[in-house]
Amino acid sequence: MEIRLDKYLADMGIGSRNQVKQYIRKKQILVNGNRPTGPEQKITPDTDTVSFQGQDIGYTRYEYYLFYKPGGCVSAVTDRIHKTVLDYFPKNRRKGLFPVGRLDLDTEGLLLITNDGTLAHNLLAPGKHVPKTYYAEVSGHVTEDDVEQFSQGLDIGEARLTRPAELNLLPENHPEISRITLTITEGKFHQVKRMFEAVGKKVLYLKRISMGSLELDDSLLPGEYRLLTPEELQTITEHTGPSRKG
């Protein structure tokens, strides 16, 4: 695979294509130890070495980040009103990053950030039924009858019942608030909140703790992120179908 030098460096967050042209003119960029012929010079990432101000700049086609979304930000690339999940990343971040799926404004938890559209499609495709698990605190007493109703599917005002979901009761620390985990295999709008509303209860706090084989990293604080490990990427790829490499 060959790629233009200016795109190579812009993709890796060195600057815009116009900025890269300026760096080339100022002799701050070298290709295999030599001055490039221009921004249009073709680079083979596997064999060529590109440096900026004396530092080698490796090229990675796709990037994958495990992000702990805090409440109060939206799962979007841009927004006129609210802070977005990408606002937690550096301004010179990799171009093309986006959140895979959405969490509500007030919902916390695991969100995958990537520029790999194929993997994102595989994770979100309705036919894949990728499981997503949430921890929630719910007003009222969640009962075994609720567990059974969730397992059978609920009417949340759509043409079909929700797919069967696994509701688990956790030990309660407050008589008026139930602590639960819920695993669903769909991604309908406000689905978890609407499911509890269907049984006469209200979600007070919601956090996604897993998506497919990915689990929220306990070492991350809200607003923090890290790269997926090679093992995590391999596992999520195997569970959702082939993804592009690199």
- DSSP 3-state of 66: strand
Q: Which of 33, 29, 36 is nearest to 14 (CA)?
A: 29
Residue 113 one-letter amino acid? I
Give CATH for domain 131-211.
3.30.70.1560
Confidence of residue 242 (pLDDT cuts 50, 70, 90): low
Give CATH for domain 64-126+214-240.
3.30.70.580
What local confidence, expressed as pLDDT, does residue 239 receive? 73
Q: Which of 149, 215, 142 is nearest to 180 (CA)?
A: 142
Q: What angle do CA 179, 124, 73 make, to 5 degrees?
A: 60
Query: What values do phi and psi take at 76, rounded to 5?
Result: -150, 165
Of the two residues 245 and 161, the one the predictor is more confident about is 161
Q: CA–CA separation, 30 vs 48, rounded Å?
A: 10
Distances from the Cα of 158 to the Cαs of 109, 115, 166, in angstroms? Answer: 26, 32, 20
- DSSP 3-state of 191: helix
Just list the catalytic residues. 104
Sorted by where each begins, the domain ranges of the chain are 3-56, 64-126+214-240, 131-211
Give CATH for domain 3-56.
3.10.290.10
pLDDT in tens, 59-88: 988 999 999 999 999 999 999 999 999 999
* Residue 111, beta-bridge partner list: 67
Confidence of residue 94 (pLDDT cuts 50, 70, 90): confident
Contact at 8 Å (CB) between 223 and 68? yes
Residue 16 one-letter amino acid? S
Is there a common fold for 64-126+214-240 and 131-211? yes
Distances from the Cα of 97 to the Cαs of 1, 90, 103, 124, in angstroms? Answer: 21, 12, 16, 16
* Residue 206, beta-bridge partner list: 136
DSSP state of 29: E
pLDDT in tens, 125-139: 888 899 999 999 999
Asked if the model's pLDDT at residue 246 lies above 70, the reply is no
- DSSP 3-state of 237: helix
pTM comes to 0.86
DSSP string, 112-174: EEES-HHHHHHHH-GGG---EEEEEEEES---HHHHHHHHH----SSSSPPPP-EEEEEEEEE
Distances from the Cα of 19 to the Cαs of 37, 170, 190, in angstroms? Answer: 16, 54, 42
